[in-house]
Amino acid sequence: MDINEAKRRAIELAQQLNYHNHRYYVLDDPEIPDSEYDRMLRELQGIEERYPELLSIDSPTQRVGAAPAGKFEEATHLQPMLSLGNAFTAEELQDFDRRVREGLGTAGLVAYSAEPKLDGAAVNLLYEKGVLVRASTRGDGASGEDITQNVRTIPTVPLRLQGAGYPARMEVRGEIFMRLAGFASLNQRIEDEGGKPFVNPRNAAAGSLRQLDSRVTAGRPLTMFTYGIGEWEGGGKPDSHTELLATLARWGFAVSPDASLVTGYQGCLNYYETMQQKRPDLPYEIDGVVYKVDSAALQEELGYVARAPRWAVAHKFPAQEELSVIRDVEFQVGRTGALTPVARLEPVFVGGVTVSNATLHNMDEIERKDIRIGDTVFVRRAGDVIPEVVRILPERRPDSARHIELPNSCPVCGSDVERIPGEAVARCVGGLYCKAQRKEALIHFASRRAMDIEGLGTKLIEQLVDADLLRTPADIFELTADALEGLERMGPKSAENVIAAIERSRHTTLPRFIFALGIREVGETTAKSLARHLAGLEALVAADEDTLQGTPDVGPVVAGNILRFFAEAHNREVVSRLIDLGITWDEMPQVGDSDSQFSGKTVVITGTLSEMSRDQAKELLESLGARVTNSVSKKTDFVLTGENPGSKVEKAKKLGVTVISTTEFSKMVNF
């Protein structure tokens, strides 16, 4: 494909990936299997490798992901919990091994630590002086949900480490899961009590961890295998992953008994085939194996890409497939008006889950696969998600099979449906008049990374929209406690808490406000760029296409979306109302301001900051034009350090990087 075709496809893929990230991580309601997500991500990575000019810093390939659900307290990881790249074939595994050897500049065989990839829930355990002080879910990789009380009930999780020699502060990563025998016993007990049993161990483990009553979790047969670490402050790290696992085992952690040290590509492949043979007899479920370069020094030399380490890969087992029949197709409407066709299937049991629906993505995919209502289809599932329709069986197509037609009007509000030439996605043009779009837009506006209105979540917003109490984001700031009290699960105290959270959110930052408006293609990074490179909101509203495209990360497509958003009178009216209702933010220095010592500089934050949170420091630095990264290198300009900073400070001193304390930083920025 040429550059224009590649650009259109990259935009389409980014939209789909961002949507499915949200469904998976925020809504706990995924629509596609991991295999389909991985396919789209790899396709986008391929386009960006071929056309580097299309790579933007807010691309899904540059993120870890997405935000936590917010039902528990938020917990920020000291080191990000990154994803792993995937290999699905022997050829892709061979490519991984080749990249590792090329990255190390060696033609020799590389030693890998190999272990089963458990099908459970990833967790991060924080130990201080050998004592468990916090446990959290993976979340979006940067922060998750605090589930400490629940994790404390799991027998295989040490509350205090055994032996000696552990660091002053350490993050331990692992997978919490249920053994098959325990899962069967739990389901039998649930059925005996008249309840609905879980369909698979992964659902049971994840559901048990997210119980608000830890006594319920204590009654569930959960266990954990440890597979790695995050932050490590004080003391020397083991020299290899194999040694690390042995060390963690000495300190009281359970590690996989099937972990093994292998050599080279063939050693990895032999291990994969061995585990595939053992899989039916294992006492727990796995969905593949993981290989990690064993040497810690070589891991550091290889480093990371934005969302994954270069020294590790997950080798997935083949996805599971079954046959089903498409009984009907419905169209769902998202925040931007995108209509997503969803196949209603004859219920079929695939990989431990009864499946009755699957996304068909868009009309282009339907036409490409020639899918019709009444077709018998291959349904593929990989992991605990809604499956994909892989292909049809034309020989089984009945005479009554019907073509799937894009509706002319929105199934929610009746507005016209528009499909722009060259775009795969069709959209309802109703905007906030459409209740489906209104709900999603308001959920986005109130979300943690936007206006951060605690307590104003999905269910409450849906009730408020259905009751016609919310039509635009500005209506949020005219809500009263009396109006909220009449809603489901809203007593006087809960209503007061929501109103207080709304009041707190009136003072925000300009990047958050821009992001909260929900302009198509304007993510957090682009919102920050717009805020830094323009004089303020008025300049953004008045900007022409040339001005917008002068901002980093803003190309013609994003500029067009911004222009169309502010060209709508009702959008400008909502923005004006929000300002009139008291939304404020501190003025941001523009990039290039001579007053900013951090403009264009690279900064690393380490340790516990005393005068502000890490998020506050990062947001402040970015507003001053700095780039905040996780690792210290020769390109680092400053290391901002707090208490218990760990090895990053020593590395900075060796490289001659300027180290500043929180107090010094506060004086430099007048915080």
- CATH fold label, 1-63: Helix Hairpins (1.10.287)
Do 508 and 583 form a contact (C-beta atoms < 8 A)?
A: yes
Average pLDDT over residues 187-213: 85
Question: At which residue do the structure tokens 């659902």 appear?
Answer: 203
Return the CATH number of the domain spanning residue range 431-505: 1.10.150.20
- Give me the mean pLDDT over the 408-431 stretch: 87
Nearest to 405 by CA among 441, 367, 375, 438: 367
Read off the pLDDT band of 371 (50, 70, 90).
Answer: very high
- SS3 for 142-200 is CEEEECHHHHCCCCCCCCECCCCCCCCEEEEEEEEEECHHHHHHHHHHHHHCCCCCCCC
| pLDDT cut 90: percent of the chain above it | 45
Nearest to 445 by CA among 543, 335, 586: 335
Return d(Cα 219, Cα 188) in angstroms, integer. 14
Using CA atoms, how far residue 34 sits from 64, 387, 617, 624, in Å, is 15, 9, 34, 38
3-class DSSP state of 654: helix
Question: What ranges do the domains of the chain cover?
Answer: 1-63, 89-316, 319-423, 431-505, 510-585, 602-669
- Between residues 389 and 307, the one the model is more confident about: 389
Of the pLDDT bands very low, low, confident and very high (cuts 50, 70, 90), residue 344 is very high
Rounded distance between C-alpha atoms, residue 441 and residue 29, angstroms: 18
| Confidence class for position 71, pLDDT limits 50, 70, 90 | low
Mean pLDDT of 271-300: 93
Work out the average pLDDT over 210-236.
89
HEC string of 267-323 equals: HHHHHHHHHHHHHHHCCCCEEEEEEEECEHHHHHHHCECCCCECCEEEEECCCEEEE
* Residues whose CB falls within 8 Å of the CB of residue 194, separated by 6 or more in sequence, listed in order: none
Beta bridge partners of 87: 315
Q: Do domains 89-316 and 319-423 have the same CATH topology?
A: no
| More confident of the two residues 503 and 65 | 503
Dihedral sign computed on CA atoms, order 586, 588, 593, 596: positive
β-pairing, 339-350 vs 320-333, is antiparallel
CATH number of the structural domain 510-585: 1.10.150.20
129 is catalytic: no
Residue among 271, 243, 237 at smallest CA distance from 117: 271
Query: Domain 319-423 is in which class?
Result: mainly beta
Is the confidence at residue 176, as pLDDT, over 70?
A: yes
Block residue for tokens 């990374």: 449
pLDDT, residue 620, reads 78
Catalytic choice (117, 292, 435, 439): 117
What does the DSSP assignment read for 579-611? HHTT-EEPPPPPTT-TT-TTTT-EEEEESB-SS
- What whole-number distance in Å separates Cα of residue 244 and Cα of residue 250? 10
Give per-residue burial for 471-497: e unless 16+ CB within 10 Å, then b.
ebbbbbbebebebbeebeebeeebbeb
What is the CATH number that goes with domain 602-669?
A: 3.40.50.10190
Scanning the structure block, which residue is given the tokens 């090895």?
A: 647
More confident residue, 94 or 37: 94
Judge whether residue 65 has pLDDT over 70: no
> What's the one-letter identity of residue 430?
G
pLDDT at 591 over 70: no
The residue whose two tokens read 């292909």 is: 391
Running DSSP on this structure, what letter comes out for residue 91? H
Q: Can you count the helices (H) and strands (E) in the chain? A: 24, 26
CA-wise closest residue to 11 among 596, 549, 424: 424
49-58, 555-564, 578-587: least confident range: 49-58
pLDDT category of residue 351 using cuts at 50, 70 and 90:
low
Three-class SS of residue 556? helix
- The band of 529, judged by pLDDT with boundaries at 50, 70 and 90, is confident
Domain 89-316 sits in CATH 3.30.470.30:
yes
Digit-coded pLDDT (tens) for 115-132: 999 988 999 999 998 889
What percentage of the chain has pLDDT greater than the value 70? 92
Question: What's the pLDDT score for residue 203?
Answer: 82
**Would you place residue 66 in the very low, low, confident or very high pLDDT band (cuts 50, 70, 90)?**
very low
The runs of H, that is alpha helices, within 303-452 are: 363-369, 435-446
Least confident of 84-93, 295-304, 610-619, 649-658: 610-619
Structure tokens at 343: 């196949």
Of 41-45, 586-590, 607-611, the poorest mean pLDDT is in 586-590
